[in-house]
């Protein structure tokens, strides 16, 4: 996701990093255990990724990533405290130790990984920039958008991606920039622009805002790579591994057919050695991670496997109804692939 | 003898009295006014009916989910369902009585201050100003004397807006008065410090102050040590607004004739008693409109905390619109926010007018 509205924030944080120290290995886990909860940086509101329901509970994919880590460390997914962060604050909050991990629809890029003093632990959601158009336009591919008026959100890398794509394909377009997603949705609806561009995950949310969502369609083209994932401070490999394997355990669980409903049953009675190793019935692979033996059982029991999380927050079981697409498992035509537990 | 009977005077022409007369003299007195009136009526006709249609006649009032909003108009169900979140933010539901109690204590505690005949009002007022903030902090934050702690990260909604505004006002006013006095001081060191302070804080935008407090400050602190985010924002707001108050108060100080200072000095009053008994009561009275103006601006500026991820009223509403169950309710949310802000600002301005009338003793004609 390209929420960095100002590269200035990136530059200053990167500059100051030279001064502030790096985390020591093991320090984060000890500190987390001592205070009794994981302090997790999330978004200040993004449909399907992190938002609050009417009772004030945080929900979403990003939130579930935090809960999985808490389940692994404490055996209790509720031991998380959330820090809603704006796009500008997020890296500083992680670097200054205000949060233990950042799970805030952040795109994994080389500069962030290398220069910002943080490490991305994996990809929770393969996103990419796409287009939303009215069916009346009769367009089935972005290549047919020559001369279109395009609604964009100001200040994000969306603008740059769009310019690159249209130039590379020799197409002309007129951009109209807006500050908020609500404005751009209204603009598409009123016909001020022909097409709205944003990350695909957000286009589905935008579509719900329209009066007649079924009249609009998301085009198949994806014009940028936006792998979203959690990040931790550089220098604490132990904590890095815990956050990374919390996600990988969920992916492995989906692949092996373990769900929150059957995980306890399978932990007891499985004959499959892969399942037994993941769930701690055979060997003690949690120990290497400095986690309890049943760490994966707790994650899957309380948070669910990756498929369940996806379905509940953004997929068929949610309002957004996003297809699995790139986020399907590797053996089902997607990109989600987890190394084995052994 | 025949007495001459005057004939009763004729009534004024029908066209110059009553509704018709008022209309003629005020709205249709000449061709230009007639044109303006017709134009205004046209504009009202253009704006008001669709607005009423959207907000009232075709709006949805009952239900619990988005599916219940079937009409063309506004979906007030959204506001109804999220109302408590807009008021209290993430404050735990079972502890919200503490917020209510804090508000009631403020209302009840401040009520005697509005009774003109109350004896020892100044003493009571001073005691209230000292005791109430401590009590309010204990009730809202807790963590000691038997109340469970509610971290400031869980504060939100209108409650947070009011906390920021109230603390901002309570902190900025005294500090501003001190700065104004300091700026007019005869001691060079104090004067320079005050001038520098005022000019610095007046010269930077509030959004920068908030941004610095939340993004840059943590980087300069040792790792792991982090101040409360709300506290950082509050300090920023107080320092920023005190500079504005200081300049408003200075305007009042300069309006007091030199004779008042000399007369006070001739009575044998020292600096503090001269200021406290003679100059400030007159000066502050003069600048009530300016001070209230600053307060209203401060109240509205509280919504800037949106950029540092604090969930005040506006940000709570914004966040609620990202719930997939309620996507597309932004208009309703922002209209509601505008209404709440307007009620508070209008209330403040009415109170200031009342205060002005009551205190306007020296210049009444």
Q: How confident is the model at residue A7 (pLDDT cuts 50, 70, 90)?
A: very low
Place of tokens 């004896």: B119
Which tens digit of pLDDT belongs to each residue from B122-138? 888 888 888 999 999 99
Q: How confident is the model at residue A11 (pLDDT cuts 50, 70, 90)?
A: very low
- Indicate if the pLDDT at residue B2 is higher than 90: no
Contacts of B93 in chain A (CB under 8 A): 55-56
At A27 the pLDDT is 86
Structure tokens at A56: 């004030």
Q: Is B213 on the interface with A (CB under 8 A)?
A: no
Which of the residues B77, B155, B160, B215 would you substitute to probe the A interface, choosing the one with the greatest number of A C-beta atoms within 10 Å? B215
Q: Is A179 on the interface with B (CB under 8 A)?
A: no
Q: What is the ipTM of this complex?
A: 0.81
Q: Is B231 on the interface with A (CB under 8 A)?
A: no
At A58 the pLDDT is 93
Beta-carbon pairs below 8 A across chains A and B: 105
Which tens digit of pLDDT belongs to each residue from B12-30? 887 777 888 888 888 888 8
Domains and CATH numbers, chain A: 7-126+227-332 (3.40.190.10), 129-224 (3.40.190.10)
Residue A99 φ then ψ, to 5°: -125, 155
Place of tokens 């307007």: B342
CA distance B181 to chain A (A): 38
- Indicate if the pLDDT at residue B196 is higher than 70: yes
Q: Is B309 on the interface with A (CB under 8 A)?
A: yes
At A70 the pLDDT is 96
Instruction: Decide: B79 and B86 in contact? Cβ < 8 Å.
Output: yes
Of B51-65, B161-175, B253-267, B339-353, the least confident: B51-65
Q: Is A96 on the interface with B (CB under 8 A)?
A: yes
CA distance B84 to chain A (A): 9
Q: Is A160 on the interface with B (CB under 8 A)?
A: no
pTM > 0.90: yes or no? no
Which of the residues A5, A14, A50, A51 would you substitute to probe the B interface, choosing the one with the greatest number of B C-beta atoms within 10 Å? A51
Instruction: Decide: A61 and A192 in contact? Cβ < 8 Å.
Output: no
Is residue A233 classed as helix, strand or coil in its secondary structure? strand
Give the span between the Cα atoms of B303 and B306, in whole angstroms. Answer: 6
Nearest to A95 among B93, B219, B325 (CB): B219
- Residue B67's Cβ-count burial label (10 Å; 0-12, 13-18, 19+) is exposed
- Indicate if the pLDDT at residue A2 is higher than 50: no
What strands, in cross-sheet order, belong to the sheet with A80-85?
A: A80-85, A38-43, A101-102, A231-233, A118-120
Share of chain B above pLDDT 70, in %: 97
At A25 the pLDDT is 59
Contacts of B69 in chain A (CB under 8 A): none
Nearest to B322 among A12, A45, A56 (CB): A45
Q: Does the beta-carbon distance from B223 to A96 stay under 8 Å?
A: yes
At A309 the pLDDT is 96
Interface of A with B in 207-246 (CB under 8 A): 208-210
Give the span between the Cα atoms of A147 and B260, in whole angstroms. Answer: 74
Nearest to A46 among B211, B214, B322 (CB): B322
Q: How confident is the model at residue B364 (pLDDT cuts 50, 70, 90)?
A: low
What is the overall mean pLDDT for chain B? 89
CA angle B165, B168, B171 (to 5 degrees): 145
């Amino acid at each position: 996701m390209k929420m960095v509205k100002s590269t200035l924030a990136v530059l200053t944080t990167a500059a100051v990093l030279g001064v502030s120290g790096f985390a020591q290995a093991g320090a984060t886990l000890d500190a987390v255990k001592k205070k009794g909860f994981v302090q997790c940086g999330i978004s200040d509101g993004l449909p399907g990724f992190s938002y609050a329901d009417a009772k004030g509970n945080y929900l979403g994919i990003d939130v579930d990533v935090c809960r999985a880590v808490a389940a692994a460390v404490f055996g209790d997914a509720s031991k998380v405290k959330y820090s809603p962060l704006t796009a500008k604050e997020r890296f500083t909050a992680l670097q200054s130790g205000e949060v233990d991990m950042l799970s805030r629809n952040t795109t994994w890029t080389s500069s962030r990984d290398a220069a910002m003093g943080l490490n991305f632990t994996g990809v929770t959601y393969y996103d990419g920039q796409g287009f939303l158009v009215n069916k009346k336009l009769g367009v089935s591919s972005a290549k047919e958008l020559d001369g279109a008026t395009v609604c964009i959100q100001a200040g994000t890398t969306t603008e740059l991606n769009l310019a690159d794509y249209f130039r590379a394909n020799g197409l002309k377009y007129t951009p109209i920039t807006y500050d908020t997603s609500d404005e751009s949705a209204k603009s598409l609806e009123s016909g001020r622009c022909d097409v709205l561009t944003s990350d695909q995950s957000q286009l589905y949310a935008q579509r719900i805002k329209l009066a007649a969502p079924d009249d609009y369609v998301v085009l198949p083209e994806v014009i940028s790579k936006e792998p979203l994932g959690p990040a931790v401070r550089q220098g604490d490999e132990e904590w890095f591994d815990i956050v990374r394997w919390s996600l990988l355990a969920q992916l492995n669980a989906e692949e092996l057919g373990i769900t929150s409903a059957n995980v306890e049953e399978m932990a007891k009675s499985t004959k499959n050695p892969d399942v037994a190793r993941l769930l701690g019935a055979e060997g003690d692979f949690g120990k290497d991670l400095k986690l309890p033996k049943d760490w994966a059982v707790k994650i899957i029991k309380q948070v669910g496997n990756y498929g369940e999380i996806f379905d509940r927050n953004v997929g068929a079981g949610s309002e957004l109804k996003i297809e699995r697409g790139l986020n399907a498992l590797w053996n089902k035509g997607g990109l989600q692939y987890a190394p084995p537990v052994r | 003898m025949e007495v001459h009977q005057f004939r009763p005077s004729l009534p004024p022409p029908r066209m110059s009295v009553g509704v018709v007369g008022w209309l003629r003299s005020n709205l249709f007195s000449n061709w230009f006014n007639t044109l303006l009136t017709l134009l205004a009526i046209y504009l009202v006709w253009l704006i008001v009916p669709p607005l009423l249609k959207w907000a009232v006649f075709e709006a949805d009032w009952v239900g619990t989910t988005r599916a219940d909003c079937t009409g063309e108009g506004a979906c007030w169900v959204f506001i109804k369902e999220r109302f408590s979140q807009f008021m209290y933010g993430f404050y735990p539901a079972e502890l919200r009585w503490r917020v209510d109690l804090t508000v009631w204590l403020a209302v009840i505690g401040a009520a005697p201050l509005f009774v003109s005949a109350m004896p020892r009002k100044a003493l009571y007022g001073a005691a209230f100003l000292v005791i109430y903030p401590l009590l309010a902090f204990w009730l809202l934050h807790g963590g000691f004397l038997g109340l469970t702690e509610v971290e400031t990260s869980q504060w939100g909604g209108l409650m947070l807006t009011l906390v920021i505004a109230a603390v901002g006002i309570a902190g900025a006013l005294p500090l501003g008065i001190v700065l104004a006095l300091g700026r007019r001081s005869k001691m060079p060191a104090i004067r320079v410090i005050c001038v520098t302070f005022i000019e610095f804080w007046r010269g930077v935008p509030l959004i920068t102050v908030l941004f610095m407090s939340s993004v840059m400050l943590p980087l300069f602190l040792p790792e792991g040590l982090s101040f409360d985010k709300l506290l950082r924002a509050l300090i920023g707001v107080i320092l920023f607004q005190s500079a504005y108050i200081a300049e408003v108060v200075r305007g009042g100080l300069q309006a007091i004739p030199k004779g008042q200072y000399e007369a006070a000095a001739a009575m044998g009053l020292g600096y503090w008693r001269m200021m406290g008994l003679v100059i400030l009561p007159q000066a502050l009275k003069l600048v009530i409109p300016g001070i209230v103006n600053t307060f209203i601006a401060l109240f509205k500026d509280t919504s800037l905390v949106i950029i540092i991820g604090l969930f005040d009223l506006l940000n709570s509403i914004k966040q609620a619109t990202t719930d997939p169950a309620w996507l597309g309710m932004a208009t309703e949310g922002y209209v509601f926010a505008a209404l709440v802000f307007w009620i508070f600002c209008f209330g403040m301005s009415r109170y200031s007018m009342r205060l002005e009338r009551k205190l306007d003793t020296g210049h009444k004609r």
